[in-house]
Chain A
């Protein structure tokens, strides 16, 4: 894989936004609340919502921390676009640094600050609670996520995304790292405030980090949420599902299909279960998921040493 020219940033960003819109369309189609309405009306949901938010006035609160608030609202979208920079689609990525996997991980940690800022900056109780909930939830998924990311890196003997993809030649990592794959998907839902991990944006606290922003701020924040899901799904397909590997079809199509499938699964899971509260998730994360991920990593490391040595 060769480094792409600088202008490839634009198509990469467009791709992220296209996948994000696709996820929003699918979410509209799957929503049982609109069951009786036509498929066109349901599929058009991102359009109606975007129009609505573009028309809506930008609101403020009494003495907000405006800088942190606006930065926090824009944060998820920016992070998703930055994540996408290192994700190879069809064997090409915008950039292929030696620390590609770490880059992804560092950005997901940057979300801690950004989403917390979105909650803190609004100067409202529910928003603040939402921001702190994000941190509490991150404590549950972050360590398992780091070890899940370590698995493919150890197996490939590299943190460079192109080498991680190339190392799956013949056998996708998902086959012998199913636990890491599952943990990674859960963490993607976690940092995207999605479905069962929607705790920081819970209806019980009037929308949490979403309680105060309106208009274009809200639009950017909601779009960022879908974009994070999309970036996470693309990363999952590159890390665990062999990236462009597959028979008959061209590589870029395989990458696109795998990303779409993972994204669809992430979107669909939202209807399947209630929000998992951080206080309950924490025990599961630290007592069950973390040891399982470590055991997975041990297996991967032993195999890598035996096969590689």
Chain B
């Protein structure tokens, strides 16, 4: 008993948290992330790695079903919290941490009926880390679908697997599911859909604190948040932490000067990194027109060599650095980088929705023919603002093939 209490105490010093962001709840996620970091928690990569399941925002029915499935995949001891608004984060996190080492865990473990323990007759999928289930149709071993075959890009007959990417995936846009068909890890076809919040968040329901994109600090924070995610996807956690700190500082309205100093340091580090450029160069290239209509800054803001490489992922993260600095310096309105050129990302809800849709369409189009790593860099570099779409009518679209 003494030993297990000691173990529990030690374990609670570093819980791993899996975050599920509901579209439109970006601010809640940011606060929850900061609160979790303060409590010593780290971000989990998958359900198997997680002790805490943190749902930021109020999910709709479909997303709730996914959350339940992820919950069932967590090994335990486990705790789940729903954070509807930023103010509730601190209390909820503290409560969840307490329940992780509380007596309720034994009862929870006793009650569980895990899909994997039930043997091969379960009708449900869910054996893999992603969260949709393909279980209907033929009865297959374990209720899982077998792979089909189709010719691949080299003319060979290879297995085709249909896999949903998201919506619970580290550094992935909120509520987004991209149904991909992969051969090996190469995406052949991709199609996106959105799992929305409980009620469409109209302009009335989201106040200033629910949408971080308003105000220069918030807009700078949203660039830095996108950058943090891209760095996470690129596998550079140390730099991602730096970006996330700056994001939180910019959003909390801290004095701009120290934030800009930190930003300059990050800027130098990233621009000097040949390895990062290697990982993002030439991926997700947009034409100048597409880039403009999707709310990306003018080419000159993104760096001189954009003209040579096209508007690729590298150009976009460089653009975020430049924009964030300009916004923090208070030049945002005048530069055109952040608002001009019809950059609807921040301007108004209607524009936001169309920009987000354009970015998602571009993302699934550009993902085809890439391996999963590159496809994820493309998605992260386009940073579709799914919250803007949540209110708009949902319709599946954006099918594309290699």
Interface residues in chain A, defined as those with a beta carbon under 8 Å from any beta carbon in chain B:
31-34, 37, 41, 44-45, 47-49, 51-52, 54-64, 123-127, 129, 132-133, 196, 198-199, 202-207, 210-215, 218, 270-277, 279-280
Given contacts A54-B11, A62-B120, A212-B46, 15 further A-B contacts (CB under 8 A): A41-B40, A51-B9, A52-B51, A57-B77, A59-B48, A60-B116, A60-B117, A62-B126, A63-B144, A125-B182, A203-B45, A203-B170, A212-B129, A218-B48, A274-B231
Contact status A132-B185, CB under 8 Å: yes
Q: In the complex, which residues of chain A have a beta carbon less than 8 angstroms from the beta carbon of B142? A: 62-63, 123
Q: Report the interface size for chain B: residues with CB under 8 A from the other chain.
A: 71
Q: In the complex, which residues of chain B have a beta carbon less than 8 angstroms from the beta carbon of A45? A: 14
CB of B154 to closest CB in A, whole Å:
15
Interface bits B349-385 vs A (CB < 8 Å: 1, else 0): 0000000000000000000000111101100000000
> With A48-B11, A274-B239 in contact, is A204–B122 under 8 Å at CB?
no
Q: In the complex, which residues of chain B have a beta carbon less than 8 angstroms from the beta carbon of A214? A: 48-49, 75
B102 at the A/B interface (Cβ < 8 Å)? Answer: no
CB of A124 to closest CB in B, whole Å:
4
Q: In the complex, which residues of chain A have a beta carbon less than 8 angstroms from the beta carbon of B307? A: none
Of B270-278, B292-300, B319-327, the segment with at least 4 beta carbons within 8 Å of chain A is: B270-278
CB of A207 to closest CB in B, whole Å:
4
From B274, which residue of chain A is reached at the shortest CB distance?
A273
Contact status B45-A206, CB under 8 Å: yes
Interface bits B119-153 vs A (CB < 8 Å: 1, else 0): 01010111111100000000001111000000000
Interface bits B280-316 vs A (CB < 8 Å: 1, else 0): 0000000000000000000000000000000000000
Contact status B238-A271, CB under 8 Å: yes
Q: In the complex, which residues of chain A have a beta carbon less than 8 angstroms from the beta carbon of B239? A: 274
Q: In the complex, which residues of chain A have a beta carbon less than 8 angstroms from the beta carbon of B128? A: 61, 123-127
Q: In the complex, which residues of chain B have a beta carbon less than 8 angstroms from the beta carbon of A129? A: 185, 372
From A124, which residue of chain B is reached at the shortest CB distance?
B128
Contact status B233-A203, CB under 8 Å: yes
> With A205-B373, A214-B75 in contact, is A63–B127 under 8 Å at CB?
yes
Contact status A59-B234, CB under 8 Å: no
Assembly CA distance A275 to B129 (angstroms): 21
B87 at the A/B interface (Cβ < 8 Å)? Answer: no
Assembly CA distance A56 to B101 (angstroms): 11
CB of B6 to closest CB in A, whole Å:
8
Q: In the complex, which residues of chain B have a beta carbon less than 8 angstroms from the beta carbon of A270? A: 238
Q: In the complex, which residues of chain B have a beta carbon less than 8 angstroms from the beta carbon of A49? A: 14
> With A124-B127, A125-B130, A274-B279 in contact, is A63–B120 under 8 Å at CB?
yes
Assembly CA distance A160 to B42 (angstroms): 45
Assembly CA distance A127 to B116 (angstroms): 16
CB of A160 to closest CB in B, whole Å:
38
Contact status B129-A132, CB under 8 Å: no
Contact status B120-A275, CB under 8 Å: no
Assembly CA distance A195 to B268 (angstroms): 21
Q: In the complex, which residues of chain B have a beta carbon less than 8 angstroms from the beta carbon of A199? A: 235, 373
Contact status B238-A59, CB under 8 Å: no
CB of B173 to closest CB in A, whole Å:
14
Q: In the complex, which residues of chain B have a beta carbon less than 8 angstroms from the beta carbon of A32? A: 238, 241-242
Assembly CA distance A33 to B40 (angstroms): 9
B334 at the A/B interface (Cβ < 8 Å)? Answer: no
CB of A191 to closest CB in B, whole Å:
17
From B9, which residue of chain A is reached at the shortest CB distance?
A51
Select A61's contact among B4, B127, B231, B374, beta carbons within 8 Å: B127
Q: In the complex, which residues of chain B have a beta carbon less than 8 angstroms from the beta carbon of A204? A: 170-171, 233-235, 372-373, 376-377
Contact status A203-B171, CB under 8 Å: yes
Contact status B49-A210, CB under 8 Å: yes
> With A33-B237, A63-B142, A129-B185 in contact, is A276–B129 under 8 Å at CB?
no
Contact status A55-B11, CB under 8 Å: yes
Q: In the complex, which residues of chain A have a beta carbon less than 8 angstroms from the beta carbon of B170? A: 203-204, 206
| 30 residue pairs A–B, Cβ–Cβ below 8 Å | A41-B13, A41-B40, A49-B14, A51-B11, A52-B15, A54-B7, A58-B75, A59-B48, A59-B73, A61-B128, A62-B124, A125-B163, A126-B46, A126-B129, A129-B185, A196-B275, A204-B235, A206-B169, A207-B45, A207-B129, A211-B48, A212-B129, A214-B49, A215-B75, A274-B231, A274-B239, A275-B235, A277-B374, A279-B373, A280-B278
Assembly CA distance A127 to B76 (angstroms): 20
